[in-house]
Homo-oligomer: A and B are copies of this chain.
Amino acid sequence: MSLNAVLARIDETLPEATDRLFALLRIPSISTDPAYKADCAKAADWLVADLSGLGFDAAARPTPGHPMVVGHSGGEGRHLLFYGHYDVQPVDPLDLWDRDPFDPEVQDTPKGKVIRARGASDDKGQLMTFLEACRAWKHVHGALPGRLTIFLEGEEESGSPSLVPFMQDNAEELKADLALICDTGLFESTQPAITTMLRGLLGEEITLTGPDRDLHSGMYGGAAMNPIRVLTKIVASLHDENGRITVPGFYDGVTELPDTVRAQWQALAFDYRKFLGDVGLSVPAGEHDRTPLEMIWSRPTCEVNGIWGGYTGAGFKTVLPAQAHAKISFRLVPGQDPHVLRDNFRNHVRTMVPFDCEVAFHEHGASPAGVMDISDPAFEAARGALGEEWGRPASYVGCGGSIPIAGFFQSILGMDAMLIGFGKDDDQIHSPNEKYDVESFHKGIRSWARILAALS
């Protein structure tokens, strides 16, 4: 009965919930770009105010980077910690956006209503589903549901440099029975899912320096070492002709999928043609002997996320550049140690750097993969609640992305996490014109109300 009252309240107040999300979306909290530091602080303060209004004892906690937002409800029972992040990706290339990324709008599309803005899906819209569920719950019950801690980060899109130190320094305060993380999606945009396998992430930036200044390729071309040539040889060397990664020791410790999980994934009948077709592609580009679902969920990868050097403006400049750069990331699976792999990668690169060329490395995060223990009955309870809301059974799935926090919850706070989210494959997170379906937002809020009822 009281759950129905909470759900009704959610339905009635969806316009006000959308307005609150818009207020948060208007703050350009791009964590990777120092120019937006004040905006990140503003987003944190906005969340502290909202949490305080809900009855949480909340504060923006300083770090060397952007602040953490932490709020406690107090209360009794199973202690749940909810995690989300209030920072967003950069918006470049800006000219591919149809409107200002920080001027949110509800738009009618052939597939339904969407909320269009940077961060609408990743992760402001998702984190607000939980806060709105708490708000409706409190309105109906007069109190928050059970014992909750809210933990919102502002550096998720920039390698989370402050996260581990902050969790270590505040481990006693943050330790709970189970974490809830809302930063994932529906399986194939329709099926509710709890993510129980997450890939880790290792980020590296390499800078190659050859001559001590940019040279005229007419005067020096042919005789002087060009660092772009060296860089392309290194990057091209990272995969063999079968799509396998060539860094020595890269696959050490990587295990095959258990047969039960393999069978479950086969039953999902993943439509990889649609998955790739939605973005203009058709051929899986990973290891030739792996299925597309393995490629994105359970196999490690290496991607070049950025490369630059020399003249990149309009027209032509016959320059032989002093430097060339690349940003390279590895998605890791259980069994791979990111720190060992970082050393192996750097050593591999060093063997390919010729005399007269220097290489410098800059690290951008290192987090291991994670696997959750689904024998905790909370998982089945949440799976049931999700199935009721969405009218079809929820599944345990993998996730190609890295949500380092899940691994840190295990290693630092000794608790597993339930990763539940409502994003869709076409949300264009990290791309221009990011959106979040109004359905995701609305049913997401309702889903959390049902899960809180089932767990509390």
- Chain B residues with CB under 8 Å of A443's CB are none
What separation, in Å, do the CA atoms of A400 and B220 have in the docked complex? 7
**CB pair A307 B305 closer than 8 Å:** no
What separation, in Å, do the CA atoms of A428 and B219 have in the docked complex? 11
Expressed in whole angstroms, the minimum distance between the Cβ of A322 and any Cβ of chain B is 8
What separation, in Å, do the CA atoms of A317 and B308 have in the docked complex? 14
Residue of B with least CB distance to A31: B315
**CB pair A307 B225 closer than 8 Å:** no
Q: Is the C-beta of A340 less than 8 angstroms from some C-beta in chain B? A: no
Residue of B with least CB distance to A243: B222
Expressed in whole angstroms, the minimum distance between the Cβ of A434 and any Cβ of chain B is 10
Chain A, range 262-313, C-beta contacts under 8 Å to B: 272, 275-276, 279-287, 292, 295-296, 299, 301, 303-313
- Chain B residues with CB under 8 Å of A306's CB are 228, 309-312, 317, 319, 321
**CB pair B299 A320 closer than 8 Å:** no
The 8 Å CB contact of A276, one of B157, B205, B217, B223, is B223
**CB pair B431 A213 closer than 8 Å:** yes
Expressed in whole angstroms, the minimum distance between the Cβ of A303 and any Cβ of chain B is 5
Residue of B with least CB distance to A430: B216
Q: Is the C-beta of A214 less than 8 angstroms from some C-beta in chain B? A: yes
Q: What are 9 A-to-B residue pairs whose CB atoms are below 8 Å?
A: A33-B315, A89-B317, A159-B316, A203-B316, A216-B401, A222-B331, A232-B235, A306-B319, A318-B430
Top 6 closest pairs, chain A to chain B, by CB: A218-B401, A32-B315, A212-B280, A306-B310, A222-B301, A316-B364
